[in-house]
Amino acid sequence: MDLDVLLQATKKQLKPERFEHTLRVVDTAVELAKRFGADPPKAKIASILHDYCKFWSREQLTQWIKRCQLPLDLLEYHKEIWHAPVGAEVAREEFGIVDEDILQSIRSHTVGRPGMSTLEKVVYLADYIEPGRRFPGVDEVRRLAEIDLDVAVLQAMDNTILFLQSQQQPIYPLAIAARDELKRMLSGKRLREESV
């Protein structure tokens, strides 16, 4: 996979500031991948392509959602989440990426999903904490990302859900399911550690 080809193709799709964000996500994802045992080259590919469709029109995204038989309930939620599942399909069709972990990492970087792999969590978190991000709570998640991937991802998910609730935005069900599964997993882990 020629990373320069992916970078140049992505650069053509994005506004300059969003492309700069993408480059920061790539660097952050590679660092997190090394820290938490994911594959850095896969993290790089997924991160380069994660926002590929970010500025596509509602019509273009809708066409891909329907043509690729993605869940139609996506259309009932904010357009901001559509570019992730569409981006995975574009990565497969236009760039020939068949590695399912890379595709899932692109697909789930906005809302997450139950059963996320380490690579998916790395890309999700890198998108959230890259150094250009400035919003309440991000520094705490950055601190957690130095220590525990799952705890950091859970905090990022909690923050996102609370923000959407404060804006009276509907929350895509996969986001709730992903957060709840991670909460249960971490709670079980704590109980096991306490009983030792």
**Among 194, 196, 160, CA closest to 78:** 160
Q: Look up the pTM and report it.
A: 0.95
How high does pLDDT run on average in the chain? 95
Range of the domain at 77: 3-195
The CA distances from residue 54 to 5, 86, 182, in Å, are 18, 10, 27
How many structural domains is the chain composed of?
Answer: 1
Nearby residues of 80 by Cβ (< 8 Å), 6 or more positions away: 110
Whole-number pLDDT of residue 196: 58
Residue pointed to by tokens 């500031």: 17
Calculate ∠ Cα 193-126-26, nearest 5°: 135
pLDDT, mean of residues 69-79: 95
Report helix angle 40-49 to 83-95, nearest 10. 110
Q: Which two tokens stand for residue 51?
A: 């926002």
Residue pointed to by tokens 């790089």: 44
CATH number of domain containing 64:
1.10.3210.10
3-state secondary structure at position 112: coil
